[in-house]
Amino acid sequence: MMDFAKLRGRMVERQIAARGVRSAAVLAAMRKVPRELFLPDRLREHAYEDAPLPIGADQTISQPYMVALMTEALILQGGETVLEIGTGSGYAAAVLAELAGDVHTVERIQQLAEEAAVRLAELGYHNVHVHQADGTLGWPEHAPYDAIVVTAGGPDIPATLKRQLMVRGRLVIPFGADQQAQELVRVTRTSDDRFETEDITGVRFVPLIGKEGWLP
């Protein structure tokens, strides 16, 4: 039997903290959430490797470091309402749920949305709400959001998502004209009609498909 708790602790120390993630809350969430339970059974032994892994439907669960980096970039203090675009297996939503008050997460692919909703409920993440829809359009019913995170790379930053941020809210998203490489940025809404953008790092994500992303 693999000692997943030990592997998880080693992953946080060597892959995340060693690369500069400093938020104590983010590190604690990464130590707590069982990434192995968000993977197909055949891949669970690889859960704490430093890599993204396939979860079906041509989608992946992000590299643990990238989940931690993007979560830290949201600057969550606790109790916020967060929107995630790209639920996937639900792993990053679970990490967010350890820090935020409510997490609304949108998944384009129905099978993944249904499976993630069941998995998150079984693990007790009742503050995560899964919606199957075009993520590039956000989830307006619960807007505005304190923070929005997008786990796929689009050609540009969707204007609809920017409008769903509250003033002083943060949007973390990878985007770029090349589907094979993007820039991860943080967008802060400084007033009703003004936004500031900060570059974080170069990344490579699956394409953001939808009306304000790449066409299917």
Catalytic residue positions, numbered: 62
Q: Which helix (H) or strand (E) holds 153?
A: none
Asked if residue 144 has a cis previous peptide bond (ω within 30° of 0), the answer is: yes
Report the amino acid identity of residue 141.
Answer: E
73 close to 172: Cβ distance less than 8 angstroms: yes
3-state percent breakdown (helix, strand, coil) of the chain, nearest 5: 35, 30, 35
Residue that is written with structure tokens 């943060």 in the block: 170
CA distance linking residue 162 with residue 189, whole number of Å: 8
Q: Which helix (H) or strand (E) holds 47?
A: none
Cα atoms found within 13 Å of the Cα of residue 215, Cβ hemisphere only:
0
Asked if residue 158 has a cis previous peptide bond (ω within 30° of 0), the answer is: no
How many of the other CB atoms lie within 10 Å of CB of 126?
10
